[in-house]
Structure 1
Amino acid sequence: MDIAKRIKEAPLSPGVYMMKNRGGEVIYVGKASSLRKRLEGHYHAYRKQSAAKDALLYNTSRIDWIVTSHEAEALILEAGLIKKYKPSFNISLKDDKSFPYIKVTTDEEYPRLLLTRNKAGDPASYYGPYTDVKLLKAALAFLRKIFPLRACRRMPKKECLDFHIGQCLAPCIGKVDKPVYVEKIRELCLFLGGEKERLISELNKKMARLSKDGKFEEAALARDQIAGLTNIVEKYRNLDVKDELSVLKDMLGLPCIPNRIEAFDISNISGRQSVGSMVMFLDGKPYKNHYRRFRIKGIAGIDDYSMIRQIVMRRYGGTLKSKLSMPDLIVIDGGKGHISCAFSELEKLGIKDIPIIGIAKQFERLYLLKRKEPLIPPLSSGALHLIQRIRDEAHRFALRYHLLLRSKVQQASELDTIPGVGPKKKSALIKRFGSIDEIKKAPLDELIGVKGLDRRTAMFIRGHFRGKRIRNS
């Protein structure tokens, strides 16, 4: 590779760059606010010095990069890639005591997330080192949006600004139960320790469980965490995705590399608010413009097979057929019965050349139409991990829609019992406050400010949620 030419191709955007030697091994990972300017800096320094003095660029045969939305995200990605590849030219940082670390205390009732330069011999968990203090502070603020944990040295007697901007769960005033807070600390440590895939998988299961139990606010918090983490993880996952797609082609015996993959899933609880989802991955990456969700029509109770038939027919036989290109591979969340149902619907439409596979949750086995026994890839297989990510994304998208519908039903039914609140007022309340919980907390003057609500109706609403009876005279 012509390194000088490659550097000129680099964007001016923030991101992370990786220098590789002739054997393809990553020897250095760096971050930059402008990738091209940083790489040009490396190159100019190399031209001015002898090869012996600049061993890094002398040993570099290839440069790759990942563009990020801002430099703070690049810092987090850089740390993850250094942990993954252990580049020889980054290791020297470990011995430098002047660089800062992320510290998670473990000897406090409600542990803290903070920045420190002193890696003391205490029981805390340390992550790093990092090379840029200013940028690390920005990265910590970014992390606190996903993991809203306390940073205060002493717990105050009332909530601070961090709580109001969504960067702390406010254990100081009892806004969060201790087990929930401790779980957030465990999740943060998984993330900082490089277990991002495992954490996202755990959060997907947690969101499903909370939704089933009717804990919609906690489920929504898990959903937001998944969204934030997925955005980070996708950035450096793309490094290996071409290899994963090639291996997947060979493993499944596909006629071509499956650059366009569509996956389907069903979500319901006891057959209520049944929905289906379709997600699309292009070149191994989510392509959300082509995501679709389906509200199941005319099917009562739990009947996954009929629901799969319906959403496959609606995708490939309805108006979407002309709007979206055909995929190279279809993935169904389920076993042999599920893919057989999908195939029979495609046959009715005269579509016979799109491969279909199913993936069963319990043992992560792959089901193919022409194979009697399921395919059991190694758990370390990158191709399997790709299919799992696509399956999990279809599940998350379906569950999110199901959660939305259930929440609307719950909100509507609770407001329906209040005298004087009809469809228009109900809609105005939800639009103004967003959720039943926010309506419950709203003071009287804010309720009166809602379009269409008079003082008496506002008092009925406030009294309803506070257990007070208002005489209707």
Structure 2
Amino acid sequence: MYKFRDPHGRVVYVGKAKNLRSRLNSYFADVASLHPRTRQMVTTAGSVEWTVVRTEVEALQLEYNWIKEFDPRFNVRYRDDKTYPMLAVTLNEEYPRLFVYRGPRRKGVRYFGPYSHAWAIRETLDLLLRVFPARTCSAGVFKRHTQIGRPCLLGYIDKCSAPCVGRVDAEEHRRIVEAFCDFLSGRTDKLVRDVELRMQAAADELDFETAARLRDDLGALRKALEKQAVVLGDGTDADIVAFADDDLEVAVQVFHVRGGRVRGQRGWVVEKSGDVLDRPDGRDTLGEAAEDVGDVEEVSLLVEQFLTQFYGEEAALVTGDASSDAQEGGAVPREVLVPALPPDPDEMTRWLAGLRGGPVRLRIPQRGDKKALADTVQRNAKEALAQHKLRRAGDFTARSAALQGIQEALDLDSAPLRIECVDISHVQGTDVVASLVVFEDGLPRKSDYRHYGIKHAAGDGHSDDVASIAEVTRRRFLRHQRDTAGTVTGDGGDFAPEAALDPATGRPRRFAYPPNLYVVDGGAPQVAAAAEVLDELGITDVAVIGLAKRLEEVWVPGEEDPVILPRTSESLYLLQRIRDEAHRFAITFHRSKRSRRMTASALDGVKGLGETRRKALVTHFGSVARLREAGVDEITAVPGIGKATAQAVLDALRADRAPHTPAEDADPDAPAPSVGDDDSVGVSAVRAEAEQ
């Protein structure tokens, strides 16, 4: 196993090779003849490290772990496609819920799909709720109807068993949900027979009303089954994988077949990694791989990379059920059909079997239904690549043109692949905060977003954006210097890459690498303040500009006149996007901070009421306005609040009946990131960003 690191210590590529000398020789023998992406990786790398392992299985596992840990820029990443909806069943709740879901998988939740369209899930769900009347409402709706003691409309029309009002208990409701999961898992014959027998028994007992209802349920089951065509008559559980590629990208399609029926489909289009070989004939697709030795090697490497990442990730997400079909389209199936076998198929098969906990068959379909289905998946991969190229042509070209235009307009040595932007937010000098957003290759990198509480402005009561910009810049680059062990200086000091690494994890420290371009929201004064801080710190390899909102002028330090970019240029559009994203992120944090302060201030000064009790009261009642209208007995129902404290709260609130601010009605459970001393938190900021 080997890792390429850039001069700042970041891992940019991980790979494995049985002969490391031969692999490195292939990279450095003739750089000009390499694949463009491989050439960029080799020229970006500053050092190489390697680790010796005993078996291919260990190498596969370590490669998967490294890709997940370091997120190398030049490795293929088969990230889950967020555009495909799934049907989720929350088995981790007392009363499981059925709903349409998009996003990463969570523990304790069972998923079916992904499906092509959300309407297909809703249509199937609407049919099956006649037979399996499980809960589909959100937690808030469920709680509200529990409190009022009446079911929702679905409960009245018998499409929900109404556990919220006690029509069924938790155990009975879970049996309904488990029967629903069994039906979607392919165990349909037994359920259909059971409904038929119950219908016949009701008819024999002259209970025609029940028999008619069961007849309608049987029709709904059969209609749902018609939507799931049988593609493999032997009831096979398998995943069928196919690829289509061009010189730079590869499209991957996976069909998930369970019980002989296609239960889900996924697709990715990713850039090729450095280990994928250049094909001599420049063929457009991989469907004819068997005709050329180079193609076979390339497809084999793609298959190995995909299986390692995809099933490693999926097996890590499947919890609570060890069966091979516990997660539809998620866990490792009994059979995986691929266009070419990986370089070491026996080791790969053993690794997959270990993930599944049972035997796995890895093979190339040769004839019959499986070959026909593999051809269908292959056609889908070709179509997905063609559509992707049409969609991305303008987008990718625009980003490249934007970065190139910025480089030329600012006379930079290279295109600014990493751009950071700072914005300040406040209301008349109060609650002053700042945001820092990061764009890499013209796209937002939200995991690197940060926000700051401005210290110099605390309690000043006036605004000083220039000083705030200087403070944020100083804190951000002081942290950068600390994370590089102080080796970046203004007197010609050399950069030591190993100093930028955390010895505990081997990963670069958070601010161990600087941006190529540092953008501030403002004009000449703000730019001068940021540039002055960088000069003080001896940082000379970061370009600084300001983007003024009024005329969208680009200000450069030391220049009397701004740089004017064409109003329709991609470069100006990219800078505007980055500036607007920084403004949005700063506003979001400022509002949450102001809301917490204003909500809590209404209860300040109440004797015997500390921060914990204030929060408990606002959380219990939902807002200060509702708390003001409550009685003493209602307030004492909150744990930790006695009668004397409750009366003091009411006296304080009712003594001041000034119109309350909208922030008093803010949701107390809304995410509000905290602020650190040196730099803002990363994880909480990203979580708040994801939940907007």
Q: TM-score range, shorter-chain basis?
A: 0.3 to 0.5
Q: Using structure 2 for the length normalisation, give the TM-score.
A: 0.33
Higher relative contact order (CA closer than 8 Å, sequence separation 6+): 2
Q: When the two structures are superposed, what TM-score results if normalisation uses the length of structure 1?
A: 0.47
Q: Give 1 or 2 for the bigger CA radius of gyration.
A: 2
